[in-house]
Homo-oligomer: A and B are copies of this chain.
Amino acid sequence: MTTIKDIAEKAGVSIGTVDRVIHKRGRVSEETIRAVEKAIRDLNYTPNIFARRLKLAKPVTFGVLMPTMDQDSGYWRLPAAGIKKAKTELACHQVDVRFFHFDRYRPASFSRAFEAMLETDLDGLLIAPVLASLSAKLTARIPPERPYVFFDSTIPGSACLSCTIQDSYQSGMLSARLLNLLCGGIGTLAALRMAPDDYHINERVRGFQHYFSGGLSSGFVIYETDNARDRKSLKRLFRTIIEEHSGLRGIFITNAQTFLFARFLEEEGLAGAIHVIGYDLIQENIDCLKNGSIDFLISQQSDNQGYQGLYTLFRRVVLNEAVEKEIFMPIEIITRENIDYYQQQWSAHV
């Protein structure tokens, strides 16, 4: 392995000069810079990250802004598990994490949490920008030297270091295809848009609709509700859906609350008669998947999104590496046959 000592020797300078060239700290003549850069290329030098980290080690703290864990039927426990796994792994690098939770159904709560985070001395921010327009306004106030990363969703055009991208439109198309398969192309299909102002959920429905735009199937209907937290009224909606469409063969639920419909079907003795496809590997959904009241779940690795997000901050802030601006998440199809192999890697960190 070549070291800066080798570079210094080859270029006929001291290691101090080599370091100044590498880190562009100035106070080196043009001529010397060229000589050192040539030596670096010729000897194919790469810095020893261990020596670097040994020298530079200093504790960093990252802030995480996300809804409280119990919201959206516990969906937020998934990214939180990934974040905690990353935190555990990065503890040896003196990385610490502070959570700032908010109530995603109250903008004021979001603003308060954001302000609290901005006022804390943090080395990087990991943000779930669930309230899009408010997030855009508030992220603009982040000091330009403080790096931030989005997870779960993103704000187009923002100055974020990196973000995770889920192709929700495509996942909606995939869901449509699977649901159509399950129903054998006959009967009515339904889609339930759970939070009509959520970007991902709209994209999922758009993809779902597009699959059928060629007229592949018999009819389908779309319901929506922004009242997903009130389980009583949700149940009334469920009943309306099955009563208005006696020929209903399958339904597409667009968020983690899929299990609520599946359980409703169980209670009504309709499990299996109406096929269900939904989103996210929360425990309630997994249980329904295993007992057969949910046929397929789509996962976009919410846990991994949190994990990757924190690691991205680490790589940028601590290791000073270049990072990918966009991290694409796979669209995973989960069934009772393969679920066991998806659960294990994050389960230790719930």
Range of interface residues on A (Cβ < 8 Å): 20 to 34
Among listed A43-51, A97-105, A138-146, interface-contacting one: A43-51
Knowing A53-B50, A328-B344, say if A337 contacts B174 (CB, 8 Å).
Answer: yes
Q: Is the CB of A167 within 8 A of B341?
A: yes
A331 adjacent to chain B (CB < 8 Å): yes
A280, chain B: closest CB distance, angstroms: 16
Judge whether A223 is part of the interface by a CB distance below 8 angstroms: no
In the complex with contacts A54-B54, A337-B174, A341-B167, A46-B1 CB distance below 8 A:
no
**Given known A94-B1, A184-B184, contact A333–B335 (CB-CB < 8 A):** yes
A332 to B181, CA, bound (A): 18
Q: Residue A335 contacts which of B49, B94, B174, B341 (CB distance < 8 angstroms)?
A: B174
- Which one, B53, B173, B337, B341, contacts A337 given CB within 8 A? B173
Judged by a CB distance under 8 angstroms, whether A330 is at the interface is: yes
Q: In this complex, what residue of B is CB-closest to A177?
A: B337
Q: Is A182 an interface residue (CB 8 A)?
A: yes
Closest to A298 in B: B338
Neighbouring B residues of A170 by C-beta, 8 Å: 337-338
Q: Chain B's nearest CB lies how many Å from the CB of A81?
A: 17
Contacts of A48 in B (CB 8 A): 54, 57, 92
A34 to B: closest C-beta gap in Å: 26
Distance in Å: Cβ of A277 to nearest Cβ of chain B: 12
Q: Mark A249-286, 1 if CB is under 8 A from B, else 0.
A: 00000000000000000000000000000000000000
Residues of B close to A333: CB separation below 8 A: 332-333, 335, 338
Contact partner of A50 (CB less than 8 A), chosen from B57, B91, B167, is B57
Residues of A301-350 whose CB lies within 8 A of B: 328-333, 335, 337-338, 341-342, 344
Whole-angstrom distance between the Cβ of A160 and the nearest chain B Cβ: 20
Residues of A161-201 contacting chain B, CB below 8 A: 167, 170-171, 173-174, 177, 181-182, 184
CB distance A174 to B338 under 8 Å? Answer: yes
Interface residues of A in 37-79 (CB under 8 A from B): 46, 48-51, 53-54, 57, 59
Which A residues between 72 and 128 are near B, CB-CB below 8 angstroms?
A: 91-92, 94
A181 contact set on B, CB distance < 8 A:
181-182
Tell me which residues across on chain B come within 8 A of A59, comparing CB atoms: 1
Specify which chain B residues have a CB less than 8 angstroms from the CB of A1 in the assembled complex: 57, 59, 94
Chain B residues with CB under 8 A of A53:
50
**Told that A1-B57, A1-B94, A49-B50 touch, could you supply 10 new A-B pairs with CB distance under 8 A?**
A1-B59, A46-B91, A50-B51, A50-B57, A54-B54, A170-B338, A171-B337, A174-B335, A177-B335, A332-B332
Q: Please list the residues of chain A having a beta carbon within 8 angstroms of any beta carbon in chain B.
A: 1, 46, 48-51, 53-54, 57, 59, 91-92, 94, 167, 170-171, 173-174, 177, 181-182, 184, 328-333, 335, 337-338, 341-342, 344
Provide 12 A-B residue pairs closer than 8 Å at the C-beta atoms, listed in order of the A residue. Answer: A1-B57, A48-B92, A49-B50, A49-B92, A50-B51, A170-B338, A328-B341, A330-B341, A330-B342, A331-B338, A332-B338, A333-B335
Closest 4 CB pairs of A and B: A174-B337, A331-B338, A333-B333, A330-B341
